[in-house]
């Protein structure tokens, strides 16, 4: 097992599924003690078990993210488990698609609560401690549709566009103290969360040079790059991992 992140700790939100599970597994494979969160305790236990049987270190915290209190209490639980957090991956997200006219206020609030408010207060809770220690890495998981207008993805895209700007703002705020804040911007990726899209996922992916959906491990590699010192001079970047979609 690689030891690039040995002696470090990571908190991965939404680590029970898809991209978050792949990120948790990859970071643990690099030696980090990973705390993963999600709502589904059964899936959480499975991910922890898989990481531990591969020789890694992991713990699960069941949390419904959405408001400030949930974010701060997740950070506190992570602290109890691993002492302090060196790497924060803001991955948990929801992506309901549909016409703007069909959106009800509670949908609007839920998307912004999970995709923006929870990461915001996790950073508010954890980044100052990283800054005090003089190092840390925060990786936000955005989406290619935060970069251009997509029919039916206005609400979701807007929430992730907010996360992109926060990435740059936090790079300005915490970078001088040694905390690197970056984002990955995935294209269509096969996960439990996109299973319901069926062929629409392939159709979306066919518009990019790679011509196919990505898999969660490919996104996790980019997250791992931004979590390690391999990206030591990278601050405030949004790394597209989208098969080339936004380039063409
Ligand atoms: P997924 O398979 O649906 O997994 C989502 C994860 O987020 C699960 O672990 C889920 O935990 C957690 N989660 C969702 N709502 C939560 C809440 N309110 N409180 C706590 N945890 C919550 O999704 P995915 O496809 O891997 O996507 C992960 C991230 O990548 C999201 O931010 C998404 O926007 C972004 N992304 C995905 C794609 C794609 O094509 N898949 C493309 C671009 C960007 P539980 O199920 O245990 O509750």
| Pair of tokens at residue 67 | 């408001």
- Alpha-carbon distance of 118 to 230, in angstroms, equals 28
Helix axes 154-174, 105-112, angle to 10 degrees: 30
Q: Whose CA is nearest to atom 33 of ligand 1?
A: 93
Give me the residue spans of the domains in the chain.
9-241
- How confident is the model at residue 241, as a pLDDT? 98
Fold of 9-241: Rossmann fold (3.40.50)
- How confident is the model at residue 1, as a pLDDT? 54
- How confident is the model at residue 72, as a pLDDT? 98
pLDDT in tens, 200-213: 999 999 999 999 99
- Alpha-carbon distance of 85 to 129, in angstroms, equals 8
- How confident is the model at residue 234, as a pLDDT? 98
Q: Is the pTM of this model over 0.95?
A: yes
- How confident is the model at residue 94, as a pLDDT? 98
- Dmax over CA atoms of the chain, in Å, equals 51
| Pair of tokens at residue 47 | 């991910």
Residue 224 in contact with residue 31, Cβ under 8 Å? no
Q: Whose CA is nearest to atom 36 of ligand 1?
A: 143
Q: Which of 21, 22, 24, 28 is nearest to 5 (CA)?
A: 28
pLDDT in tens, 51-99: 999 999 999 999 999 999 999 999 999 999 999 999 999 999 999 999 9
Q: Can you give the pLDDT of all 248 residues of the chain as single tens digits? A: 568 999 999 999 999 999 999 999 999 999 999 999 999 999 999 999 999 999 999 999 999 999 999 999 999 999 999 999 999 999 999 999 999 999 999 999 999 999 999 999 999 999 999 999 999 999 999 999 999 999 999 999 999 999 999 999 999 999 999 999 999 999 999 999 999 999 999 999 999 999 999 999 999 999 999 999 999 999 999 999 999 999 99
- Residue 83 alpha carbon to ligand 1 centre in Å: 26
Q: ∠ at Cα 224 (65, 112), nearest 5°?
A: 25
Q: Whose CA is nearest to atom 44 of ligand 1?
A: 143
- Residue 204 alpha carbon to ligand 1 centre in Å: 18
Ligand 1: residue of 93, 106, 214 to mutate (most ligand atoms within 8 A of CB) is 93
Give catalytic status of residue 156 as yes or no: yes
- How confident is the model at residue 2, as a pLDDT? 65
Q: Which atom of ligand 1 is nearest to the CA of 186?
A: 43
């Amino acid at each position: 097992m690689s030891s690039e992140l040995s002696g470090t700790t990571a908190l991965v939100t939404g680590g029970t599924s898809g991209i978050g599970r792949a990120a948790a597994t990859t970071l643990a494979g690099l030696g980090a003690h990973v705390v993963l969160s999600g709502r589904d305790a059964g899936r959480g236990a499975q991910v922890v078990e898989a990481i531990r049987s591969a020789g890694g270190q992991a713990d699960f915290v069941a949390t419904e993210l959405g408001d400030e209190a949930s974010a701060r209490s997740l950070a506190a639980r992570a602290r109890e488990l691993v002492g302090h957090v060196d790497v924060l991956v803001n991955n948990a997200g929801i992506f309901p698609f549909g016409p703007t006219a069909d959106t009800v206020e509670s949908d609007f609030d839920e998307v912004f609560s999970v995709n923006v408010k929870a990461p915001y207060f996790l950073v508010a809770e954890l980044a100052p401690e990283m800054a005090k220690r003089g190092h840390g890495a925060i990786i936000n998981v955005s989406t290619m549709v935060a970069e251009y207008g997509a029919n039916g993805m206005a609400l979701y895209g807007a929430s992730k566009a907010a996360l992109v700007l926060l990435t740059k703002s936090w790079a300005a705020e915490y970078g001088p103290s040694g905390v690197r804040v970056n984002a990955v911007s995935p294209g269509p990726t096969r996960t439990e969360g996109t299973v319901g899209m069926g062929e629409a996922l392939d159709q979306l992916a066919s518009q990019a040079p790679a011509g196919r959906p990505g898999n969660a491990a490919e996104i996790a590699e980019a997250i791992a790059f931004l979590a390690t010192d391999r990206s030591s001079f990278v601050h405030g970047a949004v790394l597209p991992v989208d098969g080339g979609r936004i380039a063409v």
